[in-house]
């Protein structure tokens, strides 16, 4: 028979106490941890298992007697040291008498474990407290910074109201811009600490959706056109005039994405789209996309983007500046509004940031019957946008799957400048309606054929028929 001691050599140094005893209860092996915990200093072998667990094992002429199970489950025992003091252990007993002629006991000091757990808990609490103090400090300092920055800004604006020579005016404009930038950073840090501390609350109110988008556009259009970039905004007519939500925070998320798009794009265009994707009772889901033709983001860096203080790499922060807080704040705000934010991007080609949020319907809107369909985004092009080849893909694969499953009505409003574009557009519609109900498919096919024949009257007829079908 192979000696068990040869097999257990690697366990000599484990923190767990290991004892082996034979059928007579005589201990034949004790590892270093057992020797230390039980304070036997090397002479534990030869003792009886009853010496270590007197409450659970008794001496017997034929060996030992015990009620303890040898099935390997965890049991609580009391272990006695050589000096007869004791401590609780969590132990496992194994019966290896058939193969090795030995029984094995593996035991851990529970007091030590509990002590360690308490110590870990204490360290955790101290770390949380330190984080809280740090966050409060950052929040206080940032708050205090606001006063002097606004003081400078106020004075600069007063001076700008007076007659100045052009050089002084240029300097003052620069100071004004710097103060504006500083205010943005201060506000970001304040928002971030509030969100982290769980003290952030949304303030939903009824507001005019399209006015909000106009405001966002007016905030950015100068910078975008200064850089020579194109700007396009498309809003689905399915979005009602009034919605109920935290307008300020929606502006903040959109503003941040458009600022980033502007910052990281030197040629091309930025487009913003807003569509309504679902309705449940008096709430609707809005889906936004901010697309640019800028530097793009490497696939490997995408996961880092929404973490706090994260920028893609140091060279980007040196060149473009920023705190790396913007997208993290956007993510937290979007999640507070019941949605999620995502990015699709290709290095050197551009990025598309998209997010969804839920907003309330105004009382009048909510009374209109809820349509049981997921609405298709408007496929008509913005009159300024030329990129017809670009078939828009809305949202995540789940989003697309849900669109496909739930689509029962398709509302189209199309204006095209030439037949070629109309045909390409119809092809896109046809692809997107592959999974739609047969009636929709039939009308779409007829519309497609009519467009291909360049028959204006027929197209109008088919279109009227499609409208009638949808109104029925
Ligand atoms: P910052 O204030 O530094 O811009 P953000 O959280 O808004 O912080 O963005 C984090 C990083 O994500 C940016 O530094 C940049 O590396 C990357 N990023 C964000 N938006 C874009 C974009 N539209 N195109 C390319 N990179 C982007």
The angle at the Cα of 35, spanning 30 to 40, to the nearest 5 degrees, equals 115
Q: DSSP letters along 330-343, please?
A: HHHHHHHTT--EEE
Q: What is the pLDDT of residue 411?
A: 54
* Alpha-carbon dihedral sign for residues 203, 209, 213, 219: negative
Contact at 8 Å (CB) between 13 and 32? yes
Q: Answer whether 312 contacts ligand 1 (Cβ < 6 A).
A: yes
Structural Rg of the chain based on CA atoms: 36
Q: Answer whether 294 contacts ligand 1 (Cβ < 6 A).
A: yes
DSSP run (H or E) holding 361 = strand 350-361
Percent helix, percent strand, percent coil in the chain, to nearest 5: 45, 20, 30
- What is the best residue among 255, 323, 327, 350 to mutate for testing ligand 1's pocket, by most ligand atoms within 8 Å of CB? 327
Q: Answer whether 324 contacts ligand 1 (Cβ < 6 A).
A: yes
d(CA 224, CA 261): 9
d(CA 369, CA 309): 45
How far does the centroid of ligand 1 lie from the alpha carbon of residue 264, in Å?
8
Q: What is the pLDDT of residue 10?
A: 65
How far does the centroid of ligand 1 lie from the alpha carbon of residue 219, in Å?
19
Q: DSSP letters along 412-468, please?
A: -----SSHHHHHHHHHHHHHHTTTS-HHHHHHHHHHHHHHHTT-HHHHHHHHHHHHH
- What is the best residue among 324, 325, 333, 353 to mutate for testing ligand 1's pocket, by most ligand atoms within 8 Å of CB? 324
Contacts of 2 (CB under 8 A, 6+ apart): 100
Helices (H) and strands (E) in the chain, counts: 14, 14
Q: What is the residue whose two structure tokens read 């039980």? A: 38
Q: Answer whether 322 contacts ligand 1 (Cβ < 6 A).
A: yes
Q: Answer whether 219 contacts ligand 1 (Cβ < 6 A).
A: no
Per-residue pLDDT of the chain (472 residues; tens, 9 = 90+): 445 555 555 677 788 999 999 999 999 999 999 999 999 987 899 999 999 999 999 988 878 899 999 999 999 999 999 999 999 999 999 998 888 789 999 999 998 788 888 999 999 999 988 888 887 788 788 888 888 999 999 999 999 998 888 899 999 999 998 998 888 888 888 888 888 878 888 999 999 999 999 999 999 999 999 989 999 999 999 899 999 999 999 999 999 999 999 999 999 999 999 999 888 888 999 999 999 999 998 887 777 788 766 556 656 555 555 667 889 999 999 999 999 999 999 888 899 999 999 999 988 877 766 544 344 443 333 434 444 333 334 445 655 666 566 655 555 555 566 666 776 777 777 777 777 777 777 777 777 766 665 566 666 777 777 777 666 6
17-35: string of b/e by CB count within 10 Å (b at 16+)? bbbbbbeebebbbbbebbb
Question: Closest by alpha carbon to 340, among 287, 282, 273?
Answer: 287
The full length of the chain comes to 472
CA 460 to each of CA 54, 416, 454, 455: distance values in angstroms, whole numbers, following the listed order: 98, 13, 11, 9
d(CA 211, CA 217): 10
State the first-to-last Cα distance of the chain, in angstroms, to the nearest integer. Answer: 88
Strands (E), 34-121: 57-60, 63-66, 75-80, 86-96, 102-109
Please state the φ and ψ torsions of residue 440, each to the nearest 5 degrees: -65, -45
Q: What is the pLDDT of residue 389?
A: 35
Q: Answer whether 290 contacts ligand 1 (Cβ < 6 A).
A: no
Q: Answer whether 264 contacts ligand 1 (Cβ < 6 A).
A: yes
Q: Answer whether 326 contacts ligand 1 (Cβ < 6 A).
A: yes
Q: Answer whether 305 contacts ligand 1 (Cβ < 6 A).
A: yes
Contact at 8 Å (CB) between 324 and 383? no
Contact at 8 Å (CB) between 450 and 462? yes
Per the structure block, which two tokens stand in for 181?
Answer: 């930038």
- What is the best residue among 301, 311, 351 to mutate for testing ligand 1's pocket, by most ligand atoms within 8 Å of CB? 311
Q: What is the pLDDT of residue 215?
A: 93
Maximum C-alpha span of the chain: 112
Nearest CA residue ID for atom 25, ligand 1: 296
Question: Closest by alpha carbon to 185, among 294, 312, 321, 343?
Answer: 321
Q: DSSP letters along 233-298, please?
A: EEE-TTS-SEEEE-HHHHHHHHHHHHHHHHHT-SSSEEEEEEEEEEEETTEEEEEEEEEE-SS---
Nearest CA residue ID for atom 9, ligand 1: 324
Strands (E), 84-241: 86-96, 102-109, 205-208, 230-235
d(CA 238, CA 252): 23
d(CA 234, CA 347): 25
Q: Answer whether 311 contacts ligand 1 (Cβ < 6 A).
A: yes
């Amino acid at each position: 028979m192979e000696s068990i001691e040869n097999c257990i050599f690697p366990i000599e140094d484990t923190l767990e106490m290991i004892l082996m005893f034979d059928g007579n209860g005589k201990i034949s092996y004790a590892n270093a941890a057992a020797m230390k915990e039980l304070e036997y200093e090397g002479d534990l072998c030869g003792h009886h298992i009853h010496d270590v667990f007197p409450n659970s094992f008794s001496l017997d002429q034929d060996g030992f007697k015990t009620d303890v199970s040898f099935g390997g489950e965890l049991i609580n025992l009391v272990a006695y040291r050589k000096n007869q003091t004791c401590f609780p252990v969590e132990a496992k007993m194994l019966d290896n008498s058939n193969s090795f002629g030995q029984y094995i006991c593996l035991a851990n000091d529970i007091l030590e474990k509990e002590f360690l757990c308490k110590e870990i808990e204490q360290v955790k609490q101290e770390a949380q407290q330190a984080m809280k103090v740090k966050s409060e400090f950052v929040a206080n300092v940032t708050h205090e910074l606001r006063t002097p920055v606004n003081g400078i800004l106020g004075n600069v604006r007063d001076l700008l109201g007076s007659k100045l020579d052009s050089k002084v005016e240029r300097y003052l404009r620069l100071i004004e811009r710097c103060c504006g930038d500083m205010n943005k950073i201060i506000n970001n840090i304040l928002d971030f600490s509030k969100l982290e501390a769980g003290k952030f609350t949304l303030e939903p109110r009824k507001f005019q959706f399209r006015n909000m988008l106009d405001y966002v556009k007016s905030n950015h259009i100068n910078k975008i056109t200064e850089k020579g970039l194109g700007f396009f905004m498309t809003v689905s007519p399915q979005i009602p005039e009034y919605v109920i939500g935290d307008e300020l925070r929606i502006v903040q998320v959109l503003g941040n994405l458009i600022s980033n798009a502007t910052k990281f794009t030197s040629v091309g265009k930025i487009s913003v789209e807003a569509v309504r994707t679902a309705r449940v009772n008096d709430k609707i889901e809005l889906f936004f996309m901010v697309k640019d033709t800028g530097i793009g983001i490497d696939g490997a860096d995408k996961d880092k983007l929404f973490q706090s203080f994260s920028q893609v790499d140091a060279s980007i922060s040196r060149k473009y500046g920023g705190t790396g807080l913007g997208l993290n704040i956007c993510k937290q705000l979007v999640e507070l509004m019941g949605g999620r934010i995502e990015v699709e991007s290709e290095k050197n080609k551009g990025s598309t940031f998209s997010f969804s949020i839920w907003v309330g319907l105004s009382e009048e809107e909510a009374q209109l019957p809820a349509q049981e369909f997921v609405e298709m985004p408007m496929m008509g092009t913005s009159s300024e946008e030329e990129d017809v080849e670009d078939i828009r893909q809305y949202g995540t694969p789940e989003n697309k799957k849900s669109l496909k499953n739930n689509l029962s009505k398709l509302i189209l409003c199309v204006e095209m400048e030439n037949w070629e574009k109309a045909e390409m557009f119809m092809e896109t519609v046809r692809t997107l309606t592959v999974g739609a109900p047969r009636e929709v498919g039939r009308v779409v096919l007829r519309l497609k054929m009519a467009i291909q024949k360049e028959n204006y009257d027929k197209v109008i007829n088919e279109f009227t028929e499609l409208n009638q079908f949808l109104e029925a």
